[in-house]
Amino acid sequence: MSITQLPRLRSGDAAQAPFSDSVPYWVEAITGEFEIRLAGDDSVLSEAKKSTTGLLARVGLTSTGDWITDDTHCALSIYADGRRAWHLWQTLWRAKEAVDVWVMPIDKPVVKLLVCDMDSTLITTESLDELAAHVGIGEQVATITARAMNGELDFVAALNERVALLAGLSLQQLNACVQHTELSQGAKTLLDAANTGGTRTVLISGGFTHFADHVGRLLDVDRVVANTLALDNNALTGLVSPPIVTQATKLDVLREERERLNLAPHEVCAIGDGANDMAMLGEAGVGVAYRAKPVVHGATPWHLDHAPLDRLTDWLDFGRAAPPQ
């Protein structure tokens, strides 16, 4: 069965299982050529290729050609059923060191909806931590942020605690901080590819609209969802205006967009790094953990720990979604 023949399951049935023995239905349903892709520095790719070739021999899988290699990336095609390809992937991922491992059917999915987190995903920093640095409490707030993103603290409580410490920060200071926002490597190329292909793009963030709207404009994102900082006399009050964007919000937005466009799970890609991204990563047919916190790695098998975001333009296709019925 090819990807184009897969059934279009609805919410609830569509969720991708955690990276365990449970195989996503759209992977398990495919028997045919799969592609193993490795990305990393040239110094580690050679050894990674050798160990991967050895593993294939031990599990009784053979390649359908030779390794195709450039300086930072290599690919090898194999013939397998989805379940064997999935378990091979698990073994490779758990054994890898300084390379990213990607296993995908040759008939790879065309992504028609791309949902992205912002902080430490599309941009290099946590926007709240940057604001805190302006008032001299950067280290204090960054510690709370790290614990929240690792799932050690309740997200909403941690957000409110940190924002309260920013009371009095001026709108001028806020806007100055926004202008120093740095995009992650490859973010512009990735979003340009999605936009060129007609893929629907959504930025959803537990950060703040001042940053998210700015990044959305830089990347030409179709929809931006983020938290709003309350202001009084052009200064932060230390409060977040409800409703607060949570892990549940991110999941709801992904489902809403997928249902509106009548997409199958494998036509949806989500990218994130923190604990509050785990639900949407698990729901997307292709959920990508980018430079992710340790707790997030188990939510999805697709990881970018070393390669930049634009590597996804080689590993996935992007295409226009059909208009809503």
* Residue 228, beta-bridge partner list: 241
Q: Which helix (H) or strand (E) holds 282?
A: helix 278-283
Which member of 42, 71, 107, 119 is catalytic? 119
Which member of 117, 129, 277, 310 is catalytic? 117
Alpha-carbon gap, residue 81 to 290, rounded angstroms: 27
Name the token pair of 156. Answer: 């909403």
> Could you tell me what percentage of the chain is helix, strand and coil, using 3-state DSSP and rounding each to the nearest 5?
45, 25, 30
Q: How many residues does the chain have?
A: 325
What is the Cα 24 distance to its own chain's centre? 17
Kindly list the averaged pLDDT for each block of 10 residues, start to end, along the chain of length 325. 44 40 71 89 85 88 89 89 83 76 86 97 92 83 83 86 91 93 97 97 96 98 97 95 95 97 93 94 92 84 90 89 59
* Residue 183, beta-bridge partner list: 123
The confidence score (pLDDT) of residue 97 equals 66
What are the φ/ψ torsions at residue 272 (nearest 5 degrees)?
Answer: -165, 175
pTM above 0.75, yes or no: yes
What is the Cα 299 distance to its own chain's centre? 11
Give yes or no: 119 in active site.
yes
Name the token pair of 82. Answer: 């989805």
Alpha-carbon gap, residue 156 to 88, rounded angstroms: 38
The confidence score (pLDDT) of residue 324 equals 56
Say whether 180 sits in a helix, a strand or coil. Answer: coil
Give yes or no: 117 in active site.
yes
